Structure 1
Amino acid sequence: MSTAILSPPVERRSFCEVRFDARRLQGYAATFGSMANMGAGYQERIAPGAFREALSGDVLALLDHDLGKVLGRTRSGTLTLSEDSKGLAFSLEVPDTQAGRDVLALAERGDLGGMSFGFTVPDGGESWQGTVRTLRSISLKEISVVSAWPAYPETELALRNAQAFVERKARQRRLTLAELSAWD
């Protein structure tokens, strides 16, 4: 009878800071210090340096945590990750695949909910103070572009580039003002 070693379940967290420019998404997959209400009566935050050791591994970029929808990876250089004082920054060259085109279309429309990441916590990688969990070391498995709401609400969605996006918003504003003035 063999004994299988079970790995811990992968946890996932969402964030909401993404910018796009041509075929590149950039932003933060996680931010440090923000408190997230995780439900079940506990909160969580990520300590600076939590991703430091994970940056040397091969990390995937996925669409909605779907392993069948790979958008990039660190090993090939299509995904770059770095840690700064704010959090886990990423830059992703979006592929010309159906999943990639979907992501770019959602980014252009402003429909992306943000970013998420899948991880495990190595032994000693977390500490608890009452009902607050602090993640001090994270084994990063993947980051994902998602349409869900962020677990850490202090992040923000920011779009960059898009002369067309700026022009579309200006047209929408003019139309709204014209409609409002028709009611006067």
Structure 2
Amino acid sequence: MEIRASSELKPKGRKLTGYVARFDEPADLGEFVEVIRAGAFTRTLAAVTARNIRAIYEHDGRSLLGRLGAGTLRLTEDAEGLAFEIDLPDTTLGRDLAHLVERGDVAGCSFGFLPVRDRWIEERGRPVRELHDVDLFEVTITAAPAYDTSSVQVRAHQQRSIRLARLYLEACQ
């Protein structure tokens, strides 16, 4: 399994949202440059096995944050890239991670995958790997991102009672 990462975590609550990967944004991985192309996640998200895709912390399978099949992780491929939303669990890990994000200590996201269809080219004398189709296994929150172009925010869950009270007050006006 190969692992790629990206950055920009911004705290505001109990739900992580943003982009784990952005299309057509090159990442310098040292020996080569890697670019994720539009549609790279389409097949894997449509597969029956997609329900097993997990959200974890620091690529550690024991640090589970959510799972697609449980509805605590949501993934969407759009024109920009692979968007995600993770409901942070009310666990020590969930609370600690929210705090680390608030402090700015954890400032990135990543993903684990196996390439299904890639293409190697050369640009400006450097090898470039284009990812056109991947088997996605995980998205992860990490302090050591490789891709700098993803974005992540932490959002607060709005309590249902507050939402209902607001709707009631608006209806009475």
Fold agreement, TM-score > 0.5? yes
Greater relative contact order (CA < 8 Å, ≥ 6 in sequence): 2
- Aligned-pair distance for 1:153? 2.6
Whether the 8 Å contact between 2:10 and 2:102 is mirrored in structure 1 is no
Q: From the CA coordinates, give the structure whose radius of gyration is larger.
A: 1
Q: Please, which runs of 5 or more residues in structure 1 have no aligned partner?
A: 1-9, 162-184
Q: For 1:18-97, what aligned pairs fall within 5 Å after superposition?
A: 18-40=9-31, 42-56=32-46, 57=50, 58-97=52-91
Could you give the per-residue CA deviations for residues 39-77 of structure 1, whole angstroms, max 9, x where no partner exists? 22x111000110111213121000100011100000000
Whether the 8 Å contact between 1:19 and 1:27 is mirrored in structure 2 is no
- State the one-letter code of the partner of 1:26: T
- Aligned-pair distance for 1:20? 4.5
The structure-2 alpha-carbon separation of the partners of 1:156 and 1:115, relative to structure 1 and needing over 3 Å to count, comes to same
1:129 is aligned to 2:125: no
Q: How many residues matched?
A: 148
- Aligned-pair distance for 1:19? 4.4
2-structure distance, mates of 1:80, 1:70: 14
More strand by share: 2
The share of aligned pairs that are identical, in percent, is: 41
TM-score computed with the length of structure 1 as normaliser: 0.75
List structure 1 runs of 4+ shifted beyond 3 angstroms: 17-21, 154-161
1-structure distance, mates of 2:13, 2:153: 15
- Residue from 93, 98, 102 that aligns with 1:104: 98
| Cα-Cα RMSD | 1.7
The structure-2 alpha-carbon separation of the partners of 1:24 and 1:111, relative to structure 1 and needing over 3 Å to count, comes to same
TM-score computed with the length of structure 2 as normaliser: 0.79
> For residue 135 of structure 2, what is the aligned residue in structure 1?
139
